[in-house]
Amino acid sequence: MEFKIKTGELATLKTPCLVLGVFEKSKLSGVAEDIDAKSGNRIASILKKGDMDGEVGKTLMLYDLPDISADRVLLLGLGKKKGFDRAAFRKALAGLFPQLQQSRARDAVLALPDPLPADTYASVRDVVLAAEDKAYRYTRTKDDKQPLKTPLKRLTLWVPKKQEIAAAELAARHGSAMASGISLAKELGNLPGNICTPSYLADTARDLANRFKELQVEVLEEEQMASLGMGALLSVSRGSRQPAKLICMHYRGGKSGDKPIVLVGKGLTFDAGGISLKPAAEMDEMKYDMCGGASVFGAVQAACELELPINLIGVVPSSENLPDGDANKPGDIVTSMSGQTIEILNTDAEGRLILCDALTYCERFEPGIVIDLATLTGACVVALGKHAAGLFTQDDKLAAEILAAGETAGDRAWRMPLWDDYQSQLDSNFADIANVGGRDGGAITAACFLSRFTKKYRWAHLDIAGITWLTGKEKGGTGRPVALLTQLLLDRA
């Protein structure tokens, strides 16, 4: 979708559809009041009939308003004026764009409401993200049974002052790149496991490198990983006919001496649990177990599109986890790249096995920070539900950066404990460490496991198991936490 910024006389602006905000109790936003006055109070008289009261996300289409150049005027409910915030604005936008896509208007103008829920930059970026989110449609392996006859192609955001244009244009540019990364993460997550294999992800990385000259890609094959001693990662892939890949994407936008930011994303393209087989119900959703890797792809693409002045490395260890005669068995002991031995008590706790070798591999990059993200534990979903990612780190400054980025992007995380008290749950009688620590504090002990492989750099872990896909009728990838990651990269640029 194309986004434009305009200012000037709104009543004389020619457009197929003009969107205006209405608060609860039919209170017009400031700009809507101006249009109402120019139309001879036509909007107010229509609202008095009771067809709309400003409930958040509700819409009402009007036609042929006198002395208004727009073909249509779409009223958008914004909810209560008192306490109108970004959350309410996002909810309103979520109701707007499906309606706008059905309006047969290829172009539309959205007049930012007065008052705004945040500054111009944040408000415009929220609009762009909401528009692109609702425009995404998965069609790779199915016919679009209800294709839009006249999908929205261009959205113009109207701002009241010329001084706001620069901030609005920057927000539109940032939002578009962020949304593009989110769409990529959604698409990779939504693809079935027989298409989106580790080799497919490796090819996706190469395709990105062909698009962006600043990006270089290296893919380690199983033979190379074996020579490096990645016994934990390779133990997971033994049960699959698909060879594992360690995908490294190097974006060099900063100075040669600048330490890179490293993002490590779990890329389990399908997780049946291995010998510790998962229940059959909803196992199809385990294609989403690579959403950590998908989000790394999305963040790297956004950084490339924005040409950020940073050095960034995206690392995606990718494999499948399937039952097989050569698969890991409960009680097996493997040796990680770090030299630490691991007793595999549960083969369904495989994500940490592929991540630990990838995290050790990251030492060679001499990183400024490393953030890993993974659909790691159901325990985190129980703890935080579907709203926030779980953040684990002992680095208070890094935690504050990540939390602030999440708040700014509307893609929030919540800090969880990572105390040494939990480490003893990973004790093993037969190896240096067990891969699970029991039911109590499962998300925490998973993070404790990873922490044993990150002693040589600043590190944080995001457990994203609850936020990366929706279930039920709306089943599909969300693209989270690409927005958080991109915001963090913008903050560090």
Alpha-helical (H) ranges within 390-463 are: 396-409, 442-451
Closest CA to 481 of 381, 400, 405: 405
Cβ within 8 Å of residue 111, ≥6 positions away: 10, 18, 19, 20, 21, 31, 32, 35, 158
352 catalytic, yes or no?
yes
Element (H, E) at 297: helix 291-306
Read off φ and ψ for residue 274, nearest 5 degrees.
75, -145
Contact indicator for 261, 367 with CB cutoff of 8 Å: yes
DSSP 236: H
Element (H, E) at 226: helix 222-228
Q: Are strands 311-321 and 245-252 parallel, antiparallel or unpaired?
A: antiparallel
Alpha carbon distance 78, 297 (integer Å): 34
Q: Are strands 261-265 and 369-374 parallel, antiparallel or unpaired?
A: parallel
271 labelled binding-site residue: yes
Would you tell me how many other CB atoms lie within 10 Å of the CB of residue 109? Answer: 24
134 catalytic, yes or no?
no
Alpha carbon distance 208, 302 (integer Å): 11
Q: Is the alpha carbon torsion for 274, 231, 294, 216 positive or negative? A: negative
420 labelled binding-site residue: no
Q: How many CA atoms lie within 13 A of 379 on its CB side?
A: 16
Catalytic-role residue among 6, 104, 173, 278: 278
DSSP per-residue string spanning 453-481: T-TTS-EEEEE-TTTSEE-GGG-EE--TT
Read off φ and ψ for residue 171, nearest 5 degrees.
-65, -40
The separation between CA 135 and the C-alpha centre of its own chain, rounded to angstroms, equals 16
Catalytic-role residue among 352, 412, 452, 480: 352
Four-CA torsion 163, 169, 175, 179, nearest 10 degrees:
150
Four-CA torsion 268, 273, 279, 282, nearest 10 degrees:
0
348 labelled binding-site residue: yes
Helix, strand, coil percentages, rounded to 5, for the chain: 40, 20, 40
Contact indicator for 380, 339 with CB cutoff of 8 Å: no
Cβ within 8 Å of residue 332, ≥6 positions away: 235, 343, 344
- The residues annotated with a catalytic role in the active site are 278, 352
Annotated binding site for Mn(2+): 266, 271, 289, 348, 350
Annotated binding site: 266, 271, 289, 348, 350
